[in-house]
């Protein structure tokens, strides 16, 4: 979840689950029982820096946090500051908290914030769905 919004198996429908149901029982898009859970939107201004606090409330051993077409500066883990290191992504383990700086220095556009679970096996966890189409 990002800023309290997200999709998971058994929860409110995301687009992937909607497509599976639609193909299975032929619901119409106008059905009042169907709605799509929106993704979180984080608005930033070009040229500013933003501190991101990321918490791992994970269903798998760790997930990999990244923002498309941006490097992020890792600076703190579990309350302990580190020398800043510019990276493309950060592996965040269960119950870990990290801080990173986002420099909004790319052309104005929409960029995906990604945090797919990357450790362990999803086979043993029915609530872990890693495919969310745009």
Report the pLDDT averaged over residues 105-121. Answer: 85
Q: Which residue has the tokens 């870990």?
A: 96
Is the Cβ–Cβ distance between 90 and 100 less than 8 Å?
Answer: yes
Locate the domains of the chain by residue range. 1-41, 42-120
In this structure, what token pair is assigned to residue 33?
């029982």
Q: What secondary structure letter does DSSP report for 2?
A: B
Mean pLDDT of the region 16-30: 51
Q: Is the pLDDT of residue 93 over 70?
A: yes
Q: Encode pLDDT of 44-56 as tens digits.
A: 999 999 999 999 8
Q: Which fold has domain 42-120?
A: Immunoglobulin-like (2.60.40)
- What 3 state SS string does 15-82 have? HHHHHHHHHHHCCCCCCCCCCCCCCCCCCCCCCCEEEEEEECCCCCCEEEEEECCCCEEEEEECCEEE
Q: What is the pLDDT of residue 94?
A: 87
Which pTM was predicted?
A: 0.71
Q: Which residue has the higher pLDDT, 51 or 13?
A: 51
Going by C-beta distance under 8 Å and a sequence separation of 6 or more, which residues neighbour residue 61? Answer: 93, 94, 119, 120
Q: Strand, coil or helix: what is 13?
A: coil
123 has a pLDDT exceeding 80: no
First vs last Cα of the chain: how many Å apart? 16
Q: Which residues contact 112 (CB under 8 A, 6 or more apart)?
A: 67, 68, 134
């Amino acid at each position: 979840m990002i800023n309290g919004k997200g999709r998971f198996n058994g929860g409110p429908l995301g687009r992937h689950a909607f497509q599976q149901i639609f193909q299975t029982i032929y619901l119409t898009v106008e059905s009042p029982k169907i709605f799509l859970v929106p993704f979180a939107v984080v608005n930033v201004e070009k040229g500013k820096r933003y501190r991101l606090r990321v918490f791992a409330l994970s269903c798998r051993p760790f997930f990999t946090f990244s923002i498309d077409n941006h490097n992020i500066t890792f600076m703190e883990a579990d309350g302990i500051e580190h020398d800043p290191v510019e990276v493309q992504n950060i592996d965040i383990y269960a119950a870990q908290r990290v801080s990173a700086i986002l420099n909004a220095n790319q052309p104005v556009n929409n960029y995906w914030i990604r945090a797919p679970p990357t450790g362990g096996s999803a086979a043993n966890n029915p609530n872990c769905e890693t495919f969310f189409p745009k």
